[in-house]
Amino acid sequence: FDAKRQQQLRGSAAGRETGLFGVPELSCPEGFQEAQDKALQESEQLVQKACSTPPGPETVMIFDQLSDGLCRVADLADFVKIAHPDFAFREAAEEACRNIGTMVEKLNTDVELCQSLRRLLADEIVMSSLDPETRRVAELFMFDFEISGIHLDEEKREKAVNLNVKILDLCNEFLTGTHLPNKIDKHVLPEHIRYNFTAEGNYLQVAGLHADCPDDLVREAAYKIFLYPNAEQLSRLEELLASRNSLAQLVGYDTFAHRALQGTMAKNPETVRQFLEKLSDQLSKRTQKDFEMMTKMKMKLNPQNSKLMPWDHPYYSGVLRAERYNIDPGLYCPFFSLGACMEGLNSLFSQLLGISLYAEQTQRGEVWSEDVRKLAVVHETEGLLGYIYCDFFQRPDKPHQDCHFTVRGGRLRENGEYQLPVVVLMLSLPHSTRGAPTLLSPGMMENLFHEMGHAMHSMLGRTRYQHVTGTRCATDFAEVPSILMEYFANDYRVVNQFARHYKTGQPLPKNMVSRLCQSKKVCAAADMQLQVFYAALDQIYHGEHPLKKSTTEILKETQEKFYGLPYVPNT
């Protein structure tokens, strides 16, 4: 980024001390308790205010303030509990998430609070005087009450709150369990592949699927060991699914899927089922062709064992792409330095939206790792729109997932000022080396564009109420702006503006861009078929209960019906 722009925004910020994201309390883990207590105290005052305010636009404003005060702590804690390098911070954030989550569930079943909103919705004269946005937000708050069981008697409402808290805990435990490595006696594996795994005494640790490894045996071993059944995880999953089903039925839905899909574009499980089956039917012939191509490639490279297995799909589809279009990532990386990609995004946003990104100096204590960068998002006529914290680089204990977190939603404050949105983009990019800057593979570049799509959605979805700001929209619409950005990342007219060789400054040749775009169509049906299988499995798990078979038997059946590669026993 341009040093002058950085200088302009730097000012004298560096000398002052603050806490995470500029929240003074969060300079130490204990600060989460303080932030949480403050939010809970404020929420009690706002509940009393809501209950004593006559029906009108102010009711909706108070509800939104209430939601904002709790979300500001919960959303921030949601990010810190998975990304902070310090365990004490992660633990304190986890505790704050749980406590605020419990408070939210209690408020969603607070009869008196709900009555104040009901009075507004029932008052036709007042309702007709509200603007469409205020009306919609009032209806959405009512919807939250309804799906939480506000209509139940006191005993059942309490049961709903307890189920919600139990579900939150089970979710956390289950997700933590999915990342844990599995250990195996090293003598079980052939000596020549052991070096691929971390040794621990007589054991080897398998911490992932090694999907990109060229050795078929390493991928097979990783798949069978990493996905080996874990009794605790299985019982957590069964308990989680049963609890979600109990909650859904308690508050009046047939299944959890019905409850989760209400308010989305898809609307109900039946629409989703028809969509997935229709899509699967249309994909099946193309998927078969893709699997045949992969099988041929496997036969060519490994004639002894040419049966295509689930651990082969990601690897051989990559080999086919690379071979057919000569798109070895090593050829592309030098043209996609992180600096060039960020300049590309800056130029694209400037042309499309009149927006520029400026690097801004952070205060001491504001960020959780020294390589996190803060960007100010500035519009040519409207000025500062918000902040993006870029947590882009690998570090020990950092989850390997690319994602976007809302830390604070935008809204119009009571004093007429706009509360600026704050988001984090998390990627796992390699650090720069002495001889070269951080270089991105085409896939990493596309992910960067995708996540930036979410960030821009957060910056530009400027609403009066934080309850519907940015990515707080129907869950199946939230991916539209980010997927749209992937199309820009795959268009020569865009890529040509920024892809430059980091040593020579030479632009990326046009035929290399077209080869890259063409290669994305290779095995696209099989890749989509895998997603259809995941989606179908999700629908069945959250459909009618009790489930007719164990979760693993359902996985086996669904995999055979919707995917086409054989289920591997004991996974």
Cβ contact 77:97 at 8 Å = yes
Cβ contact 170:239 at 8 Å = yes
Rounded CA separation 363/12 (Å): 9
| 204 three-class SS | strand
Residue 241 tokens read as 């699914």
The sheet carrying 203-206 orders its strands as 182-185, 203-206, 198-200
What Cα–Cα distance (Å) separates residue 41 from each residue in 36, 67, 69, 375?
A: 9, 13, 10, 32
The active-site residue out of 94, 360, 446, 451 is 451
Question: H/E element holding 67?
Answer: helix 57-83
Rounded CA separation 297/282 (Å): 24
Look-up of token digits 């299985």: 234
| 383 three-class SS | strand
Rounded CA separation 345/276 (Å): 34
Cβ contacts of 226 within 8 Å, gap of 6 or more: 181, 182, 206, 207, 208, 209
Rounded CA separation 517/321 (Å): 10
Rounded CA separation 79/98 (Å): 13
Question: H/E element holding 408?
Answer: strand 403-408
Residue 84 tokens read as 């902070």
Q: State yes or no: is 451 an active-site residue.
A: yes
3-state helix, strand, coil in the chain (%, to 5): 60, 10, 30
Active-site residues: which are they? 451
